[in-house]
Every structure is written in C-alpha cells, then in structure tokens.
Amino acid sequence: MGGVISSCADNSALVGCPTGRASHSFPLRVSVEAARAAAAAAMGSAMPALVVGYSTALTKEAGAASIRLQLKPGPKASYRSNLSSAAASCATISLRAEGRLGFLAGIASVIRKEDGLFLEVVVFGRPNELLQELMPLDESVLESLYRLGAIVDVRFLRSLPWETAELQEEELRTADVPPNRARALDPAEAASEAAPTRSAKAEWLVERLLSLASTLESQFGTSRHDSEATYEGCELDSEGVVSWLREAGLQITGNMFIETR
C-alpha cells in the first residue's frame, strides 16, 4: 500500500455532496467499481502535493471542474515508472484530502516544468441516485475538500494513451469543429437541458476527458481481466459506497437508493 503522507485522523467536518446525474451533453462518469478499484490500487507510494488552484477557464468552458496541484520537491523515482516522460501527458491517479482516510480516483493532466510537476485533476466522487456511477466533483465541493494551500496525497497509477495533453495551435486552426458537437437531444431531453455552445478548444477537451474516463473504466472496471493486477475488484453495496465516500471526506446528500439487507 502507498505510504502515509498527510494526517489521516478523519476528524474534519464532512463536505456535503449531493447525488446527481451526468449531463446529456457531457456524460463524464465512471462506474463505482472502477473508481473504487483505482482508489484502492497499490501501484506506488503516495506523494505529497500542494493545492495551488482550481479549474482553468478552459476546463470550466468544457463543463468540468478540477483542482490544480504542484508536487512538492523530493525524489521522483516512486512515480517515474508510472508516467510518460513527455513534457505534458495524462495519468490515472488516486488522491486523498488532508486529514482523510479514503482515496478518490481521478484523471490528471501532467505538466513538467523547471520548477516541478504540475497536475490538473478531475476527481470522481459524486454518485448518482442508484450509487452505481460517479461523476466529477463540482468546484464548490473541491474547494471545501481540497483547500487552497493544503497538502494532499497523490498516487500515480498509470499513464493514459496520449503522448501530449497540450492542444497544438495547428490542430485548432485545422479542426473542423462546429460550435456545438453535443449529440442531438430528443424533445424531452432538450426541454430539460439546453445543449451548451463551446469553442473548438473546449470541444477538444470534452472529447479527451470522455476518452480518459473510458480508459480509466477499461483499466479498473470489473469487466477487465488482468492476472498481474496489483489490486482487487471492488464491488460494493450501496452502504459500502456511502461509507467509502465518507472516509474520503464526503457526506452524500439528496435522493439515493440504499439496499436493505
């Protein structure tokens, strides 16, 4: 298991997180099984990282929310094998808020700079009412769970299949992307959710985040079979899901289906 970096007394006040559902125009989500398996994966030691900010303008335009982290100075050997050597890449990670016991799963853009390694992380922790899927945490929840200036524990799990996470200007100039590439909504869906209008850059990010979530699912979901896996499948009942998220610092609120035994 990863090393313990920050305090794990789990004595901080829980952060409220309502249940919800993925947007029709941006269905960013992963199964609870995949997220829990990624959070529990013992694929490297935990590294301390400093919370330096939240969603960039592009991430907000895409319809997502994130936290931005800077890895504290120290030896890099413990995560080097799980990362691409490119200046910018992506990775599956798990992270634990300061003072909490549980890890949550995330997908991260990883930027190497002269003054360190910087991450922008989308964190999966908001369940649907059936407690079977997790959506990304909203920025207000992220700000309360991962406070600016706090130290969080990060495990790098696996590199994801892009050599670079940077959007090249040539790609933007030549991309034939209409203002809105969201799938067509039927009348009932259109009445409840207006399809957003996004720039080409934001559409680029939407497609890549959906692809990253799909990759996380294929890496850690129960449908995969890997005899060399360093983690176990994590099929939780509804009470187990709520308990795990509580250990990570989240108090789930709103409508939810709790199985009776």
pLDDT digits (tens, 9 = 90+) for 151-162: 999 999 988 755
Give the integer Cα–Cα distance in Å for 48 and 60.
Answer: 26
Mean per-residue pLDDT, 11-28: 88
What pLDDT shows up at residue 74?
59
- What domains does the chain contain, in order, with CATH numbers? 15-165+196-224+232-249 (2.40.30.30)
Percent of the chain at pLDDT > 70 equals: 67
- Global pTM value: 0.78
Mean pLDDT is lowest, of 48-57, 113-122, 143-152, for 113-122
Mean pLDDT is lowest, of 2-16, 92-106, 159-173, 235-249, for 159-173
- Rounded to 5 degrees, φ, ψ at 196 are -75, 160
Question: What token pair was written down for 5?
Answer: 């970096």
Q: What is the mean pLDDT of the chain?
A: 78
Model confidence at 234, pLDDT cuts 50, 70, 90, reads low
Three-state DSSP string of 131-159 = CCEEEECCHHHHHHHCCCCCEEEEEEEEE
pLDDT digits (tens, 9 = 90+) for 69-127: 998 655 554 555 556 555 558 889 999 999 999 999 999 998 888 777 899 999 999 99
Residue found by looking up tokens 């590199």 in the block:
159
